[in-house]
């Protein structure tokens, strides 16, 4: 068989079921011949996003994969790969490459060189006979250590060369392994946790990749310690749990704000504790325990009193044992912590009830979010936001169910990312009601790939908040908007969705919001890619957006 056929056989051996792609790459043919379903997108950035969303839901087993042509195809994929790298998503990228004699010669785009800064590893297949070893190394890097995108470039002159059948038939799927933390370090950190007067557990997406939610719940209940999640870690701890504070990013609910502000110790598990524009920095007047798989995260932005390196699930098991030996802890043992969380949440929601139930027109996005939460069971759904206002409006209020029922992202992501993630999530979990919330500006970036969902019979729901302007930029573009209307944008997105083969409705009456959501869900259950366009106001209020004070 040739090199591309060999790669396709390895993908099958590793359990890959879909190849997201944009032509022209003959890997599409080799994969399809072996039963791997091609998902052909409309642009490479979204195709990478589909692989990204798929990986987040499958937990990388198997990983999402994306293939593209050399030159323009690889160049167009760059933004999507940068997005996946910033959020540590273990996906496989398979660009074709220029023939080796031209590789690296200006102006030919060289993926192996150009993607080095935004991949966990990138390697070019040098010869047909080295293809199997190169792919083995790629899957080993995908499955172990800090998650991240892995790339293998396939030069076109190598792609058609013959590979020994025995080499391919001898390939065995890579077996992964993980390690726990130093027991002495765990014992010291556990003692500090048990002795803390007001501890908070801060859970990142490492809890999701480590499949450690059950252990996190056990530790929180053992100590009666509240749990807040990062943006990427949202759903790592079930948000209906009495000890759940919800998520904390640039916005948060009252309970998360209160407990993070007043904590004397923060136990960050599976989190890089990265300071970036989408987070509110945690006050530094605290004791910090940080458990992460990659030492590059330790001490990056905070002084860490108790650093731990290892797998989140194994470390949480170590903490459960150590804290049990220490007799647990007094924090909230009488149920007062859960009572305080409930009281703060009720007070906060009371202040937002007018927004969440508003009858104003245009419709406030908070009315849409409130109605969505009232008619959708979070355990039956996978929800994601987009960049900009929809993210900040949705995250504090929406309470996710179990692991991977919410896809949180945003460290370095462009408008429109949520659509690809949504399509990939539905591929990974066809029985879930999969929904992305995006603004009209975001739809303008990637909206044509709604047709990808319709054409491939992937019944997602896309919710578009259409206020015909870029409201979040009002302060930054005041003069230019006054002079030249620079914030204004337009479109009839429900009409576009129907023209692309989907089901859609435009909703302008707030009293019809809940029924429209239910009609859209019924359309997805009928197998139709669906879109709801809500005509919304220029909402500018956000929950606890300012830094701690």
Pull the structure tokens for residue 326: 């220490």
Range of the domain at 127: 3-169
Q: Are residues 156 and 264 in the same domain?
A: no
Pull the structure tokens for residue 256: 């998360």
For tokens 């006979």, name the residue.
129
**Residue 97, strand partner residues:** 155
Residue 408 class from Cβ within 10 Å (0-12 exposed, 13-18 middle, 19+ buried)?
Answer: buried
Q: Are residues 373 and 272 in the same domain?
A: no
Please report whether residue 177 resides in a domain. Answer: no
Q: Are residues 222 and 292 in the same domain?
A: yes
Instruction: Give the Cα separation of 278 and 545 in Å (integer).
Output: 10
Instruction: Give the Cα separation of 150 and 89 in Å (integer).
Output: 9
Per-residue CA distances from 494 to 501, 531, 538 (Å) = 11, 7, 19
The Cβ of residue 498 has, within 10 Å, a number of other Cβ atoms equal to 15
Nearest to 425 by CA among 105, 51, 20, 122: 51
Q: Are residues 50 and 93 in the same domain?
A: yes
**Contact predicate 261/244, CB 8 Å:** no
Instruction: Give the Cα separation of 180 and 231 in Å (integer).
Output: 25
Please report whether residue 343 resides in a domain. Answer: no
**Residue 21, strand partner residues:** 40, 67
Last residue of a domain, one of 139, 169, 199: 169
The order of strands in the sheet holding 121-124 is 37-40, 18-22, 65-68, 92-97, 150-155, 121-124
Q: Are residues 193 and 221 in the same domain?
A: yes
Q: In the chain, what is the straight-line distance between the N-terminal and C-terminal CA atoms, in Å?
A: 65
Helix, strand or coil, per DSSP, at residue 19: strand
Beta-carbon-side half-sphere exposure of residue 459 (alpha carbons within 13 Å): 15
DSSP letters spanning 289-327: EEEES-GGGTTSSS--SEEEES-HHHHHHHHHHHHHHTT
Q: Are residues 104 and 208 in the same domain?
A: no
Q: Are residues 149 and 198 in the same domain?
A: no
Please report whether residue 349 resides in a domain. Answer: no
**Residue 151, strand partner residues:** 93, 122
State CA 337 to chain mean position distance: 29
Helix, strand or coil, per DSSP, at residue 421: helix
The enclosing domain of 308 has a CATH number of 3.40.50.1220
pLDDT in tens, the chain (549 residues): 999 999 999 999 999 999 999 999 999 999 999 999 999 999 999 999 999 999 999 999 999 999 999 999 999 999 999 999 999 999 999 999 999 888 778 888 888 899 999 999 999 999 999 999 999 999 999 999 999 999 999 999 999 999 999 999 999 999 999 999 999 999 999 999 999 999 999 999 999 999 999 999 999 999 999 999 999 999 999 999 999 999 998 899 999 999 999 999 999 999 999 988 777 789 889 999 999 999 999 999 999 999 999 999 999 999 999 999 998 765 556 789 999 999 999 999 999 999 999 999 999 999 999 999 999 999 999 999 999 899 999 999 999 999 999 999 988 788 999 999 999 999 999 999 999 999 999 999 999 999 999 999 999 999 999 999 888 888 899 999 999 999 999 999 999 999 999 999 999 999 999 999 999 999 999 999 999 999 999 998 999 866 776
Pairing of the two strands 530-535 and 503-507: parallel
Please report whether residue 494 resides in a domain. Answer: yes
Q: Are residues 160 and 204 in the same domain?
A: no
Please report whether residue 346 resides in a domain. Answer: no
Instruction: Give the Cα separation of 279 and 250 in Å (integer).
Output: 4
Last residue of a domain, one of 169, 192, 214: 169
For tokens 């129907």, name the residue.
498
Nearest to 323 by CA among 179, 189, 185: 189
Name the domain count of the chain. Answer: 3
Q: Are residues 279 and 198 in the same domain?
A: yes
**Contact predicate 288/279, CB 8 Å:** no
pLDDT of res. 544: 82
Strands (E), 310-376: none
pLDDT of res. 540: 87
Q: Are residues 215 and 303 in the same domain?
A: yes
Per-residue CA distances from 304 to 156, 272, 300, 345, 510 (Å) = 48, 12, 9, 30, 48
Nearest to 259 by CA among 189, 329, 339: 339
Residue 24, preceding bond cis, omega within 30 degrees? Answer: yes
**Contact predicate 460/436, CB 8 Å:** yes
Please report whether residue 347 resides in a domain. Answer: no
Instruction: Give the Cα separation of 113 and 105 in Å (integer).
Output: 11
Please report whether residue 310 resides in a domain. Answer: yes
The full 3-state SS of 44-95, as one line of letters, equals HHHHHHHHHHHHHHHCCCCCCEEEECCCHHHHHHHHHHHHHHHCCCCCEEEE
The enclosing domain of 134 has a CATH number of 3.40.50.970
Q: Are residues 163 and 311 in the same domain?
A: no
pLDDT of res. 331: 55
Q: Are residues 54 and 152 in the same domain?
A: yes
Helix, strand or coil, per DSSP, at residue 177: coil
Question: What is the H or E stretch that residue 535 is in?
Answer: strand 530-535
Last residue of a domain, one of 307, 338, 369: 338
Please report whether residue 544 resides in a domain. Answer: no
Pull the structure tokens for residue 126: 């040098």
């Amino acid at each position: 068989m040739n090199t591309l056929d060999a790669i396709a056989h390895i993908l099958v051996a590793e359990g890959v079921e879909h190849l997201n792609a944009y032509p022209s790459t003959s890997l599409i043919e080799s994969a399809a011949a072996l039963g791997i379903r091609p998902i052909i997108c409309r642009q490479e950035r979204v195709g990478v996003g589909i692989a990204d969303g798929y990986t987040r839901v499958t937990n990388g087993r198997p990983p999402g994969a994306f293939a593209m042509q050399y030159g323009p195809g690889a160049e167009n994929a760059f933004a999507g790969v940068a997005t996946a790298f910033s959020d540590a998503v273990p996906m496989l990228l398979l660009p074709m490459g220029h023939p080796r004699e031209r590789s690296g010669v200006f102006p030919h785009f060289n993926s192996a060189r150009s993607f080095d800064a935004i991949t966990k590893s990138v390697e070019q297949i040098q010869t047909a006979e080295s293809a199997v070893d190169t792919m083995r190394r790629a899957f080993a890097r995908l499955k172990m250590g800090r998650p991240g995108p892995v790339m293998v470039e396939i030069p076109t002159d190598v792609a058609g060369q013959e590979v020994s059948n025995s080499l391919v038939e001898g390939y065995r799927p890579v077996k992964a392994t993980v390690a726990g933390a130093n027991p002495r370090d765990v014992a010291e950190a556990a003692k500090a946790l048990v002795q803390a007067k007001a501890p908070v557990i801060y859970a990142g997406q490492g809890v999701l990749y480590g499949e450690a939610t059950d252990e996190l719940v056990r530790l929180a209940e053992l100590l009666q310690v509240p749990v807040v999640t990062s943006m990427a870690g949202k759903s790592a701890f079930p948000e209906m749990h009495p000890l759940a504070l919800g998520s904390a990013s640039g916005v948060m609910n009252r309970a998360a704000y209160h407990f993070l502000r007043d904590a004397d110790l923060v136990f960050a598990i599976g989190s890089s504790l990265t300071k970036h524009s989408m987070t509110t920095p945690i006050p530094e007047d605290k004791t910090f325990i940080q458990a992460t798989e990659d030492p590059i995260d330790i001490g990056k932005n905070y002084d860490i009193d108790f650093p731990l390196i290892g797998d989140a699930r194994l470390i949480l098991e170590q903490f459960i044992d150590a804290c049990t030996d220490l007799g647990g802890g007094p924090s909230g043992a009488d149920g007062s912590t859960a009572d305080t969380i409930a009281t703060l949440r009720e007070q906060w929601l009371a202040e937002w009830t007018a927004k969440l139930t508003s009858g104003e027109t245009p419709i406030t996005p908070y009315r849409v979010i409130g109605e969505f939460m009232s008619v959708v069971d979070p355990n039956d759904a996978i929800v994601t936001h987009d960049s900009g206002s929809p993210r900040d409006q949705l995250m504090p209020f929406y309470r996710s169910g179990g692991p991977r029922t919410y896809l949180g992202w945003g460290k370095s992501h462009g408008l429109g990312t949520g659509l690809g993630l949504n399509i990939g999530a539905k591929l990974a979990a066809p029985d879930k009601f999969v929904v992305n919330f995006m603004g009209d500006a975001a739809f303008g970036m990637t909206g044509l790939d709604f047709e990808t969902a319709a054409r491939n019979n992937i019944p997602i729901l896309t919710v578009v908040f259409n206020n015909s302007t870029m409201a979040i930029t009002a302060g930054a573009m005041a003069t230019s908007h006054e002079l030249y209307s620079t914030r204004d944008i337009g479109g009839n997105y429900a009409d576009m969705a129907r023209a692309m083969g989907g089901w859609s409705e435009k909703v302008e009456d707030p009293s019809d919001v809940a029924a429209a959501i239910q009609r859209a869900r019924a359309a997805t259950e009928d197998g139709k890619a669906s879109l709801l366009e809500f005509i919304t106001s220029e909402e500018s209020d956000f929950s606890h957006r300012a830094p701690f004070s």
